[in-house]
Amino acid sequence: MAGSPEAVAQAARLLLDGQIVALPTETVYGLAANALSSRACTAIFKAKGRPLEDPLICHVLDANAAEQLAVLTPLARALMERFWPGPLTLIMPKRACVPKIVTAGLPTVAVRSPAHPLMRSVLAACGLPLAAPSANPFGYISPTCAQHVWEQLGDRVPLIVDGGPCALGLESTILDISGPHPAVILRLGPLTAEQLEPVLGFLPQVAPKNAPMGPAGPVGPAGPAGPLIAPGLLERHYSPKCPASLFSQMPPVDTRPHACLFFKKPAKYLPSANCRVFWLSEDGDVHVAAQRLYAQLRILDTLGLQHLYLQQAPGADGLSSAINERLGRACSGNIAENEGPSD
Ligand code: TXA
Ligand code: MG
């Protein structure tokens, strides 16, 4: 349903009735339910086929609404003041009203205030905090337009509100400030470590995968022995069904039907009988590349090819690091062997 006052009212009615609704945010589309109702949130897990160990993010209008769900420190307030509404999810100690199913039994809760006007109108109209993971079947690529949600969850969701393509295209940055360890990034996203630095007073580190947390931060060794600090961050996530590998300069020669996704429109590289050629941005704009990434991966996945070669974004910081992290997951960490000559 196209975003309109009627759509907002209908979404609010369904949410107050304990049902799930797909809603646009500035990052990706979310599958929302009343965050204070275990039963409503159970429906999210069911529709997505999501394991119950993977906790949900709660969406609120502002810091006051966040305070109902979490214990806010002065640092939390400063971050909210500076970056909300926007693509920053904060992990904070939870309050008793947050059901176990939302936090997967953890003592912390993930909270963010989305910027998309339609999502904000729905939050205001229903007056509830909304738990909402990305509106995709578990493990697949996150949806960045209403059509993506329709294609995969259309038969399982009573309402999809169409708010146009998502402006940012990558899921929010997750920052764990639940202490006593220093703030640490659990998921790279549109808000970069460099942007967070002035408020934190230091450049936050990215937590190593699955490393248990000690008082000074993540402590090794990472692995199955420790608790998952961002339990949803499994290796194969955001993945196309077609096997894929990463390349840096030039894709390898491959006789199978395949596609190459360049970061920037290549000057010389030409398609051939076996090779389809795509790019994320005309001129290498990293924001455009992030915004288009998931839609492009979905298109590549529909072509019936045998392999996808995905080019890494240049640079190791800022938004490039978030794009490369998603590309790495799409490829399950596979790196192409024998790259072709670079000119
Ligand atoms: O941009 C976004 O964050 C989107 C939109 C819809 O807001 N949502 C989203 O949700 O990406 P989801 O469920 O796909 O990812 C939520 C991540 C998961 O990796 C989960 O493990 C982590 O947040 N998470 C949730 N609660 C947590 C907690 N208490 N501690 C650590 N990680 C948590
Ligand atoms: Mg997700």
Q: Domain with 148 in it: what CATH number?
A: 3.90.870.10
pLDDT on residue 225: 35
Q: Which residues of 184-211 are buried (b: 16+ CB within 10 A; e: fewer)?
A: bbbbbbbbbbebbeeebeeebeebbebb
Instruction: Judge whether 317 lies within some domain.
Output: yes
Instruction: Judge whether 231 lies within some domain.
Output: no
Last residue of a domain, one of 203, 218, 233: 218
Query: How many Å from the N-terminal Cα to the C-terminal Cα in the chain?
Result: 48
CB-CB contact of 311 with 300 (8 Å): no
CA of 134 to the centre of ligand 2 (A): 4
Instruction: Establish whether residue 139 lines the binding site of ligand 1, counting it when its CB lies within 6 angstroms of any ligand atom.
Output: no
Residue pointed to by tokens 């890494």: 312
CATH number of the domain to which 295 belongs: 3.40.50.11030
Protein residue whose Cα sits closest to atom 17 of ligand 1:
232
Please report which helix (H) or strand (E) contains residue 124, including its range. Answer: helix 117-126
Instruction: Judge whether 112 lies within some domain.
Output: yes
Same domain, 172 and 277: no
Q: Around ion ligand 2, which residues have CB less than 5 A away?
A: 134
Same domain, 128 and 202: yes
CB-CB contact of 167 with 26 (8 Å): yes
Instruction: Establish whether residue 300 lines the binding site of ligand 1, counting it when its CB lies within 6 angstroms of any ligand atom.
Output: no
pLDDT on residue 3: 79
CB-CB contact of 147 with 36 (8 Å): no
CA of 290 to the centre of ligand 2 (A): 16
pLDDT on residue 123: 98
Same domain, 250 and 183: no
pLDDT on residue 159: 98
Which residues lie below 8 Å from residue 287, measured CB to CB, with a gap of 6+?
168, 319
Using most ligand atoms within 8 A of CB, pick from 20, 89, 213 the residue to mutate for ligand 1.
Answer: 89
Q: Which listed ligand is nearest to 230 at the C-alpha? A: 1
Instruction: Judge whether 201 lies within some domain.
Output: yes
Instruction: Judge whether 35 lies within some domain.
Output: yes
pLDDT on residue 268: 85
Last residue of a domain, one of 218, 235, 258: 218
Same domain, 200 and 288: no
Instruction: Judge whether 209 lies within some domain.
Output: yes
Same domain, 107 and 198: yes
- In total, how many domains does the chain have? 2
Same domain, 200 and 279: no
Domain that holds residue 33: 5-218
CA of 253 to the centre of ligand 1 (A): 38
CA of 58 to the centre of ligand 2 (A): 13
Instruction: Judge whether 77 lies within some domain.
Output: yes
pLDDT on residue 233: 52
pTM for the model: 0.93
Last residue of a domain, one of 218, 253, 273: 218
Task: List the one residue out of 312, 54, 292, 62 whose CA is nearest residue 186.
Answer: 54
Instruction: Establish whether residue 135 lines the binding site of ligand 1, counting it when its CB lies within 6 angstroms of any ligand atom.
Output: no
For ligand 1, what atom is nearest to the CA of residue 132?
A: 6
The one-letter amino acid at 21 = V
Instruction: Judge whether 305 lies within some domain.
Output: yes
Pick out the chain residues at pLDDT < 70: 209-237, 342-343
Same domain, 210 and 132: yes
Same domain, 115 and 251: no
Task: List the one residue out of 119, 141, 145, 150 whose CA is nearest residue 132.
Answer: 119
Same domain, 210 and 303: no
CA of 53 to the centre of ligand 2 (A): 13
Interval 137-186: pLDDT, tens: 998 999 999 999 999 999 999 999 999 999 999 999 999 999 888 999 99
Interval 14-29: pLDDT, tens: 999 999 999 999 999 9
Instruction: Establish whether residue 134 lines the binding site of ligand 1, counting it when its CB lies within 6 angstroms of any ligand atom.
Output: yes
Rg (CA), the chain: 20
Instruction: Establish whether residue 89 lines the binding site of ligand 1, counting it when its CB lies within 6 angstroms of any ligand atom.
Output: yes
Same domain, 266 and 316: yes
Could you write out the DSSP letters of every residue in 135-196?
A: SSSTTSPPPSSHHHHHHHHTTT-S-B-B--S-SS-SPPEEEE--SSSPPEEEE--SS-HHHH
pLDDT on residue 227: 42
CA of 343 to the centre of ligand 1 (A): 41
Task: List the one residue out of 207, 186, 185 whose CA is nearest residue 196.
Answer: 185
Task: Kindly report the length of the chain.
Answer: 343
Task: List the one residue out of 146, 129, 135 whose CA is nearest residue 48.
Answer: 135
Same domain, 278 and 204: no
- C-alpha–C-alpha distance, residues 75 and 181, integer Å: 13
pLDDT on residue 337: 83
CA of 229 to the centre of ligand 1 (A): 11
Which residues lie below 8 Å from residue 288, measured CB to CB, with a gap of 6+?
280, 281, 282
- C-alpha–C-alpha distance, residues 135 and 160, integer Å: 10
Tell me the CB-side half-sphere exposure of residue 313, using CA atoms within 13 A. Answer: 25
Q: Which listed ligand is nearest to 133 at the C-alpha? A: 1
- List C-alpha distances in Å: 10 to 3, 17, 160: 11, 11, 10
- C-alpha–C-alpha distance, residues 165 and 47, integer Å: 22
Same domain, 323 and 175: no
- C-alpha–C-alpha distance, residues 76 and 67, integer Å: 10
**What phi and psi, each to the nearest 5 degrees, are found at residue 134?**
-60, 145
Instruction: Establish whether residue 27 lines the binding site of ligand 1, counting it when its CB lies within 6 angstroms of any ligand atom.
Output: yes
